[in-house]
Copies of this chain bind each other. A is one copy, B any other.
Amino acid sequence: MLTENELIKFRRELHSYPETGWCEFVTTHKIVEKLRSFGLDPIYGRQVINPEFVAGRNPAKVEEAKKAALDKGVPPEFIESMQDYTGVAAIFETGRPGPVLAIRFDMDCVDVDEAHEAGHRPFDEGWASTNPGHMHSCGHDGHTTMGIAVCNWIQENLDQFCGTIKVVFQPAEEGVRGARPMTETGIFDDVDFFFGNHLGFNLPTGTISPEPGVFLASTKLDATFTGLAAHSGADPQKGKNALLAGAAAALAIHGITRPIGEVTALNVGTLVAGQGRNVVAPNAFMQLEVRGETEELNAYMRDQAIRKIKASADMYDCQVDIVKAGEATEFKPDQEAIELAYIAARNVTTEELARPLGLKLGSEDCTIMLRRVQQHGGKGTFVVFGCRTSAGHHQRLFDFDEEVIGIALRFYQNLIPMIVGIK
Contact = CB atoms under 8 A, between A and B. Distances in A.
B267 A232 contact: yes
A267 B234 CA distance: 11
Contact of A237 (B237, B241, B300): B300
Given A244-B255, A260-B236, A315-B311, A267 B271 contact: no
Task: Work out how many copies of this chain go into the complex.
Answer: 4
Given A220-B277, A248-B248, A248-B252, 12 more contacts: A231-B394, A236-B257, A236-B260, A243-B271, A267-B277, A267-B279, A269-B274, A269-B278, A271-B272, A272-B272, A277-B287, A278-B289
Interface in A296-319: 300, 307-308, 310-312, 314-315, 317
Interface in A198-239: 216, 218, 220, 231-237, 239
20 contacts: A216-B233, A232-B266, A233-B265, A236-B267, A241-B257, A243-B271, A246-B247, A247-B248, A248-B252, A257-B280, A258-B258, A260-B264, A260-B291, A267-B280, A271-B273, A272-B273, A278-B362, A310-B314, A312-B315, A315-B315
A202 to B, nearest CB: 14
Interface residues of A, number: 68
Which has the most chain B C-beta neighbours within 10 Å: A241, A250, A281, A314?
Answer: A250
Nearest to A236: B257
Interface of A: 111, 175, 216, 218, 220, 231-237, 239, 241, 243-244, 246-248, 250-252, 254-255, 257-261, 263-281, 284, 287-289, 291, 293, 300, 307-308, 310-312, 314-315, 317, 325, 360, 362-363, 394
Contact of A263 (B239, B261, B265): B261
Contacts of A231: 362, 394
Contacts of A255: 244, 251, 254-255
Contact of A270 (B254, B258, B275, B394): B275
A281 B269 contact: yes
A287 B270 CA distance: 17
A272 B275 CA distance: 11
